[in-house]
Each structure stands twice: as structure tokens, then as C-alpha cells.
């Protein structure tokens, strides 16, 4: 991996993907996106890993897709490159993904954070979809996920003017989970990851799948989907362990079986 670093923590239950193009503010070039997608594919298959955290550095989570790499492209070049496969892979990941954001999360960077399931931000975080300023528009979910997260009017404002919002505003509009001082944002994201990693990984993944389904289908269909996953968990050892641990007044030890 050239543009990301992947490490594991907390009995290898948490995988940390760190974007590593600091000079370019972690601009998302094709290879970097392929590396994220490949590693997520691997981590999803890795039974030890229960939660993934994606982060950048203090100055930038990611300042967007690599403009220099895109500037000279024609439609057919973009089509041949098939960039959406990597984004689709991120969206398909079964395990929960937490974005730990400090500094710029712009354009594709904001879209990457929004493709994750939760966002822990430092007080210096800035979010925006500035594509309009370079003659295009969001292309990796920005018009859809941002609108679903913060509502139509604010989303229109951000997408049509390209202006940024700070962490306070992002929290106010429901884009992020939490703001912490810059020196604590990684610690806080890992704390959240650890808490989730202590639950049954099967229940976590099926619950994630069900919450995500609510964005895709009408309520009745979503409820049926939820019901199916709920029933399914009763064939897991973790369900027995979790409920027995409650009855026996002890801490559950979930195995993901
Ligand atoms: N691409 C390439 N290089 C970038 C970059 C980017 N998005 N953002 C920053 N850099 C580079 C700068 O060019 C500079 O490089 P050098 O000049 O030193 O070689 C270096 O990072 C430091 O940046 P600045 O000198 O500009 O730093 P400042 O603190 O002055 O400004 C800034 C920081 C974040 C406000 C500024 O760099 C900026 O405005 N950056 C561009 C932000 C932006 O417009 N982002 C949206 C890009 S379009 C798709 C999926 C996704 C997308 C498209 C398609 N498919 C699946 C098909 C997404 C599109 C986008 O994100």
C-alpha cells in the first residue's frame, strides 16, 4: 500500500486505515481509492476485525478527489477508469466504519466521511462540497448523502455555493456524531470503535445493514428486513451468550458465532 497505512488495535478487533498523502492534503487519487477499497474487502473477510476507523491527519481528512489527476479527463476516460467500483466497495462493507475527521473533509473527502457510518470530528474539522467552484458537482454521493443527513435547504446552500461548514455547524445539522479537541479525536474515535467491538459482531453487522436499508426502501419493506435480521440472530451463539450473561449478571463475551 503506497497511499494508506493499515494497522490493528484492541486485540486486532479494530482496524485503522490512515490516508497517507499529507503533502496533497490526502487528495483521493485513483490508486488511493483502490487501496482503501481493497483493504476494506480484506478487513471485511477478517474475522478478528470488528470495526474499521478511517482517518487522515490533523490538517486534512481528505481535500477531495485529486483535481490534478482529473483536470484533463474526457467523459470516456472517466467511464473507462470505472472509479465508482471502489466507492461501491466502501458502501458495501459489512463492518461498521467510523470516520475520524480533523481539518478538511471536502468534496470526495466529505463524501468518503459520509459513506462511513459515523463521524467523530476534531474542533478544526471543516466539511464542504466545493466541486461547484471547479465547474462540476458532487459525484460520489454528495448530493444524496448530504441531503439525507442535513436536509434540503442547507445541502443546497453547500452544494451550490461550495462553502464550508465547521464542526459546530456539522454537529448542529446532524452530519457528525461528536466534536472533540484536536488532540483527542483519534482517541475518541477509537473509544467508540472499542465500545462497538465489544458487542456481538453479528448483531452489529445485521443492525448496520438494517439501518442502511432504511435509506433505500419504504418503511414496510424496511420493517420486514429488520424482522428477518432480528430472527436470524436467534440462531447465533452470541444471542445465547448475551442473554445468559444478562441473566447471570456477568459481562458477555461475544465470539461472532
Ligand atoms: N486535489 C489535488 N491536490 C490538492 C487538492 C485536491 N483536491 N487539495 C489540495 N491539494 C494540494 C494543493 O494543490 C497543494 O499542492 P502544491 O501546490 O503544494 O503542490 C497542497 O495540496 C496544499 O494545498 P493548498 O496549498 O491549497 O493549501 P491551503 O491550506 O492554502 O488550502 C484547501 C487548503 C483545502 C482550501 C485547498 O487546497 C483547496 O481548496 N483544495 C481543493 C478542494 C476541492 O475543491 N475539493 C473538491 C475536489 S473535486 C468521483 C468521486 C469523487 C469525486 C469525483 C468523482 N467518481 C467516483 C467518479 C470528487 C470530486 C472532488 O472532490
Closest ligand 1 atom to residue 81 Cα is 57
pTM of the model: 0.98
**Which tens digits make up the pLDDT trace of 83-130?**
999 999 999 999 999 999 999 999 999 999 999 999 999 999 999 999
**Which tens digits make up the pLDDT trace of 156-181?**
999 999 999 999 999 999 999 999 99
Instruction: Give the closest residue (by CA) to ligand 1 atom 13.
Output: 24
The alpha carbons of the chain give a radius of gyration, in whole angstroms, of: 19
Q: Is 113 in the pocket of ligand 1 (CB under 6 A)?
A: no
Residue 233 per-residue DSSP state: G
Work out the angle at residue 132's Cα, subtended by the Cα atoms of residues 108 and 149, and round it to the nearest 5 degrees: 55
**Among 126, 208, 198, 211, residue whose Cα is nearest residue 167:** 126
Query: What is the rounded distance in angstroms from the CA atom of residue 147 to the CA atom of residue 159?
Result: 10
Q: For residue 106, what pLDDT is reported?
A: 98
Q: Determine what percent of the chain is predicted with pLDDT higher than 90.
A: 99
- Specify whether the CB–CB gap between 164 and 124 falls below 8 A: no
Which residue spans within the chain are E strands per DSSP?
A: 4-9, 14-19, 51-55, 60-62, 97-101, 104-106, 118-122, 126-128, 165-166, 178-180
Between the CA of 80 and the centroid of ligand 1 the distance, in Å, is 23
Q: Is 107 in the pocket of ligand 1 (CB under 6 A)?
A: yes
Domains of the chain: 4-197 (3.90.226.10), 201-247 (1.10.12.10)
**Among 176, 146, 148, 178, residue whose Cα is nearest residue 162:** 146
- Helices and strands (DSSP H and E) totals, the chain: 12, 10
Amino acid at each position: 500500500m503506497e497511499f494508506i497505512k493499515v494497522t490493528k488495535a484492541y486485540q486486532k478487533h479494530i482496524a485503522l486505515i490512515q490516508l497517507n498523502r499529507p503533502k496533497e492534503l490526502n487528495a483521493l487519487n485513483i490508486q488511493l481509492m483502490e487501496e482503501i477499497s481493497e483493504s476494506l474487502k480484506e478487513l471485511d473477510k477478517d474475522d478478528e476485525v470488528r470495526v474499521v476507523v478511517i482517518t487522515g491527519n490533523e490538517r486534512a481528512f481528505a481535500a477531495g478527489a485529486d483535481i490534478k489527476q482529473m483536470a484533463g479527463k474526457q467523459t470516456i476516460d472517466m467511464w473507462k477508469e470505472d472509479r465508482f467500483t471502489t466507492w461501491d466497495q466502501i458502501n458495501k462493507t459489512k463492518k461498521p466504519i467510523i470516520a475520524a475527521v480533523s481539518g478538511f473533509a471536502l468534496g470526495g473527502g466529505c463524501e468518503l466521511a459520509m459513506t462511513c457510518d459515523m463521524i467523530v470530528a476534531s474542533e478544526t474539522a471543516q466539511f464542504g462540497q466545493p466541486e461547484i467552484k471547479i465547474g462540476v458537482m458532487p459525484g460520489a454521493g454528495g448530493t444524496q448523502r448530504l441531503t439525507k443527513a442535513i436536509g434540503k435547504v442547507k445541502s443546497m446552500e453547500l452544494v451550490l455555493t461550495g462553502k464550508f461548514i465547521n464542526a459546530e455547524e456539522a454537529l448542529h445539522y446532524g452530519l457528525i456524531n461528536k466534536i472533540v479537541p484536536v488532540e483527542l479525536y483519534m482517541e475518541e474515535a477509537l473509544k467508540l470503535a472499542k465500545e462497538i467491538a465489544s458487542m456481538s459482531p453479528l448483531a452489529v453487522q445485521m443492525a448496520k445493514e438494517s439501518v442502511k436499508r432504511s435509506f433505500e426502501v419504504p418503511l414496510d419493506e424496511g420493517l420486514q428486513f429488520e424482522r428477518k435480521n432480528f430472527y436470524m440472530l436467534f440462531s447465533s451463539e452470541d444471542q445465547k451468550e448475551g442473554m445468559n450473561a444478562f441473566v447471570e449478571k456477568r459481562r458477555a463475551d461475544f465470539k461472532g458465532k
